[in-house]
Amino acid sequence: MYIDTHAHLNFDPFIRDPQPYIDRALQAGVTRMIVPAADLASSEKAVALAERYEGVFAAVGVHPQDAAAVPDNYLSLLASMLDHPKVCAVGEVGLDYYRRYAPRDVQMRVFREQAELARSLGYPLIIHNREADDDTFSLLEDLAYFNVQFHCFGGDAAYARNVIERGALVSFTGVITFSQKAREVARTLPPEKLMIETDCPWMAPVPYRGKPNEPAYVVEVAAAFAEIFGRSVEDIAALTTATAERFFRLSQT
Ligand SMILES: [Zn+2]
């Protein structure tokens, strides 16, 4: 059994008719999927999907891309969504200096406020960090809150070790099926600190490059870990599932 810890079923093309994608995921042994949000509307869609599908769990939050557009009351709206029993995390939130979606100070403020919300209510945090290693680290260090998952990890081994030492977990996408650099980084890390995700509809793994990604393909990420760590794919499935169950506080199956 696998858990896809980052599947945007609340986005196109999935949201129009999620059923076939969920059916294919289940057939592949991907029994649970975490659906992270990017803004308030996609947070609500994630919650609605979690209500509709047994294996779907939601995260709610505002991505740096929408940091400049948050209404004044967004934190209380997020807090009330977090009350839902199938909402398991705040995310995805963070910093993106590659795309410069919003001015850095706005991104920092919205990231900090949501990280504080997660900390005060005791929820794990899903982090989007692109070319913002130092600011992401210092903000978390400042809050002393490392109950976090670095999603779609693209940093170097030293950074990964640094955040893992403080209690963070690191998640890899299908990039690990084709990027030598990502494989080299993963190889140096303790496998029990890692999670798997698709980040679908993006980041399709080999052999689906160039096609839309979907939750069923998270199996390819697990297969890449199996190769990297010299373990069976069943071992990796069990290990990454247990890690995700603990982090997202899902019941054990
Ligand atoms: Zn995402």
What is the per-residue pLDDT for 9?
98
Q: How high does pLDDT run on average in the chain?
A: 97
User: What are the b/e assignments for 194-211, b being 16+ CB within 10 Å?
Assistant: bbbbbbbbebbbeebeee
Which pair of structure tokens corresponds to residue 226?
A: 């199996």
Residue 8 lies in a domain: yes
Residue 108 lies in a domain: yes
Å from CA of 72 to ligand 1 middle: 24
What confidence category does residue 157 fall into, taking pLDDT thresholds of 50, 70 and 90? very high
CATH number of the domain where residue 70 is located: 3.20.20.140
Å from CA of 179 to ligand 1 middle: 19
Å from CA of 234 to ligand 1 middle: 26
Using one digit for the tens of pLDDT, what is the confidence trace for 218-233? 999 999 999 999 999 9
What is the per-residue pLDDT for 99?
86
Å from CA of 154 to ligand 1 middle: 13
Q: What are phi and psi of 129, to 5 degrees?
A: -130, 115
Å from CA of 166 to ligand 1 middle: 23
Å from CA of 128 to ligand 1 middle: 7
Å from CA of 129 to ligand 1 middle: 11
Residue 43 structural domain: 2-248
Residue 92 lies in a domain: yes
Contact 118, 79 (CB under 8 A): no
Å from CA of 15 to ligand 1 middle: 15
Decide if pLDDT at 98 tops 80: yes
Residue 15 lies in a domain: yes
Residue 7 lies in a domain: yes
Å from CA of 91 to ligand 1 middle: 9
Residue 253 lies in a domain: no
Å from CA of 233 to ligand 1 middle: 25
Q: How many domains does the chain have?
A: 1
Contact 170, 190 (CB under 8 A): no
Using one digit for the tens of pLDDT, what is the confidence trace for 186-216? 999 999 999 999 999 999 999 999 999 999 9
Q: How far apart are CA 15 and CA 2, in angstroms?
A: 21
Å from CA of 57 to ligand 1 middle: 14
